[in-house]
C-alpha cells in the first residue's frame, strides 16, 4: 500500500542494448486503450519517473542559466540587441548537439546530455563575447563598422578556435572511455595498459558527444553567423525603433 491505497507493482529489466525510453513509449501506447475498472489507474514510476524529474530540473536549470547570462550581458553591454545575438549562439550550438547524437547513434540521455548542453552554453557564450566585445572596442576607437568586424574576425580567430580545440581534445578520452591501468604499468605488462571503450563511456559518452559536436559547429557559426547578425544590427534597431514609435503615436492619437 502507498498512501493508504492498494498498489500492484509490475516491473521489468531492460535487455542490454535496448532503449528504455522506446520500450516505455511502446508500453504506454499498448496500454492507452486498456479498459480499467472504476477507481483503478496506471502510473509509470521507476526510471521513467526519475527521468521526468531530471528533465524538469535540467530544463529549469538551463532556462535560469540563460536568463542570468542575459542579465549580466545586458548590464555589461548596456544594450539588449547585442546580448540577444550572443544568446542566439547557444541555439546554434544545439544544431551540432543533435547532429553529433545522430552520427554516433547515441540516445539523448536526459541527465548527461542535459548537463553537456548546459556546460556547452557557457563555452559558446564566452566565444561570442570575445568576438563581439572586441568589435565594440574597435568601434569605440572610431573604426568603421565593417572594418571593425573584419579586424575582430582576424584578431579573435585564434583564441576562439584554440578554446574549442583544447576543450574538444580534453573531452575525447572521456567520451571514448580511454582508461590507463597503472597496476599493469607497475607490473610491467604494457600490453594491457591502455583500454578504449570502457564502461565509463556509457555514462559520460552522451555528455562528451554533446559538448564536442555542439562546440565544433558553434565555433564555425560564431565566426560566420554572429558577425553577419551584428552587421545587420543597426537596420534592425532602426526597424524596431520605427515600429515602437508608430505604435506609441497610434496610441497617443487614440487617446
Q: What is the pLDDT of residues 34-56, one digit of tens each?
A: 777 787 777 777 666 677 777 78
Statement: residue 118 has pLDDT above 70: yes
Q: What is the mean pLDDT of the chain?
A: 78
Statement: residue 151 has pLDDT above 70: yes
Tell me if 2 is assigned to some domain: no
Question: Tell me, what's the pLDDT at 184?
Answer: 61
pLDDT one-digit tens code per residue, 27-37: 777 777 777 77
Give percent above pLDDT 70 in the chain. 76
Tell me if 17 is assigned to some domain: no
Statement: residue 255 has pLDDT above 60: no
Tell me if 27 is assigned to some domain: no
Q: Give the domain CATH number at 119.
A: 1.20.1640.10
**Whole domain around residue 195: which residue ranges?**
53-230
pLDDT one-digit tens code per residue, 180-226: 666 666 666 666 556 666 666 666 778 888 888 988 888 888 888 88
Tell me if 248 is assigned to some domain: no
Structural domains of the chain, count: 1
Tell me if 170 is assigned to some domain: yes
> Comparing 14 with 130, which gets the higher pLDDT?
130
Question: Tell me, what's the pLDDT at 81?
Answer: 80
Pairwise CA distance, residues 176 & 201, whole Å: 6
Tell me if 175 is assigned to some domain: yes
Amino acid at each position: 500500500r502507498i498512501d493508504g491505497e492498494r498498489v500492484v507493482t509490475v516491473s521489468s529489466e531492460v535487455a542490454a542494448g535496448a532503449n528504455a525510453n522506446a520500450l516505455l513509449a511502446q508500453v504506454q501506447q499498448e496500454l492507452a486503450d486498456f479498459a480499467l475498472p472504476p477507481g483503478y489507474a496506471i502510473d509509470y514510476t521507476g526510471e521513467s519517473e526519475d527521468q521526468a524529474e531530471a528533465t524538469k530540473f535540467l530544463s529549469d536549470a538551463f532556462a535560469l542559466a540563460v536568463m542570468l547570462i542575459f542579465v549580466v550581458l545586458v548590464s555589461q553591454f548596456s544594450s539588449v540587441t547585442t546580448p540577444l545575438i550572443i544568446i542566439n549562439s547557444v541555439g546554434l550550438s544545439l544544431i551540432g548537439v543533435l547532429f553529433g547524437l545522430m552520427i554516433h547513434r547515441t540516445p539523448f540521455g536526459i541527465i548527461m546530455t542535459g548537463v553537456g548542453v548546459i556546460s556547452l552554453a557557457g563555452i559558446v557564450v564566452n566565444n561570442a563575447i570575445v568576438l563581439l566585445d572586441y568589435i565594440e572596442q574597435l568601434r569605440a576607437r572610431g573604426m568603421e563598422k565593417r572594418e571593425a568586424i573584419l579586424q575582430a574576425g582576424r584578431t579573435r580567430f585564434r583564441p576562439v578556435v584554440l578554446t574549442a580545440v583544447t576543450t574538444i581534445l580534453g573531452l575525447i578520452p572521456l567520451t571514448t572511455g580511454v582508461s590507463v591501468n597503472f597496476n599493469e604499468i607497475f607490473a610491467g605488462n604494457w600490453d594491457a595498459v591502455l583500454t578504449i571503450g570502457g564502461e565509463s563511456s556509457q555514462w559520460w559518452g552522451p555528455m562528451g558527444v554533446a559538448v564536442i559536436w555542439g562546440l565544433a559547429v558553434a565555433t564555425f557559426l560564431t565566426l560566420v553567423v554572429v558577425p553577419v547578425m551584428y552587421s545587420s544590427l543597426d537596420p534592425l534597431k532602426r526597424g524596431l525603433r520605427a515600429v515602437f514609435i508608430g505604435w506609441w503615436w497610434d496610441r497617443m492619437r487614440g487617446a
